[in-house]
Amino acid sequence: MSIIKTDPRHILPCGIFYIMLVGPTILSNLYLASMSLDQILMILYPAHYRRVITPCHIMIRLFLILIIVIIIMTPHPFYYYYDTKTTIFVCEFHKFVNPWIIRIWPFVHGILFVLIPSIITCISSIILFQNRYNHRKTHQNRLSEVARRIERNSVLIVFISIIISFCILPLVTLEIFIVHDLLSNHGIISSIKVKKYKILLNWFVSLVSVNYSAKFYLHLIVSKTFRRDFIQLFNCNFRQKEKIIEENLIPLNIENRTQI
């Protein structure tokens, strides 16, 4: 917050700012876990997964996850407020909020939105990696290019899922300890503890930020399909601009010819 001149919490309600900050990370974890479940079904039930995993079913599931997260996070604008004296968290709880709500939210966030999705992603990625390893042992040197690409992607997914777990879980665990400490001491914490908590929070938030920003570059380096789609996206945009320019130039050329 010290980098920018205008603090967003002066403009937006702190609860809305908190939702904008935390909501996308929650959705990212749940969507990744949903994709991982689809991969497990594709591996374990290859003959039947097409009846279960259809584009319509996937869109409905993603929409339901979004609605559930919105419903769970809707009360937060009424729970939080911004205080210029805030030392640890982004926002402060209002005094009228029941202490059990303050205690239970870090556990809901940590277990339901971080721990369980991380476990699902890790297990599914391990199953995918094991499947690719057994496939390689069976076929050995007869692997096609598609099979090699899936094998590389499986290693990447295992790597990313483990990184996500080790990056996000420490931050949520620290949040649980800080909330418990604040409520146990009636909001009074020694300056030494505050300094330790702030240092740990800064480190863990930086770790989470690096984790989310690095996934794009990891996919870009490892996955040929991702690189191809990424380049194709830019080529399509460039071609569309060229087409628009050509369409705009055609009337001008016709007009010049008629004048000549």
Q: Which residues contact 76 (CB under 8 A, 6 or more apart)?
A: 15, 18, 19
- pLDDT of 257 > 50? The answer is no
Cα distance between residue 152 and residue 146, in whole Å? 10
Mean per-residue pLDDT over the chain, rounded: 77
Tell me if the pTM is above 0.75: no
Pick left, alpha or beta for residue 186 (phi over 0 → left; psi -120 to 50 → alpha; otherwise beta). Answer: left
pLDDT tens digits for 200-249?
Answer: 888 888 888 887 777 788 777 777 777 888 888 777 655 555 555 555 54
Cα distance between residue 165 and residue 237, in whole Å? 36
Alpha-carbon dihedral angle through residues 227, 231, 236, 237, given to the nearest 10 degrees: 120
pLDDT tens digits for 66-110?
Answer: 999 999 888 888 888 887 776 677 778 887 888 888 888 888 888
Q: Give me the mean pLDDT over the 26-30 stretch.
A: 88
pLDDT tens digits for 98-143?
Answer: 888 888 888 888 888 888 888 888 888 788 778 777 777 776 666 6
Q: How confident is the model at residue 38, as a pLDDT?
A: 86
CATH number listed for the domain at residues 8-222: 1.20.1070.10
Break the chain into its structural domains and give their ranges: 8-222, 229-260
Q: Which residues contact 115 (CB under 8 A, 6 or more apart)?
A: 169, 172
Cα distance between residue 26 and residue 258, in whole Å? 62
Nearest to 80 by CA among 95, 98, 97, 92: 92
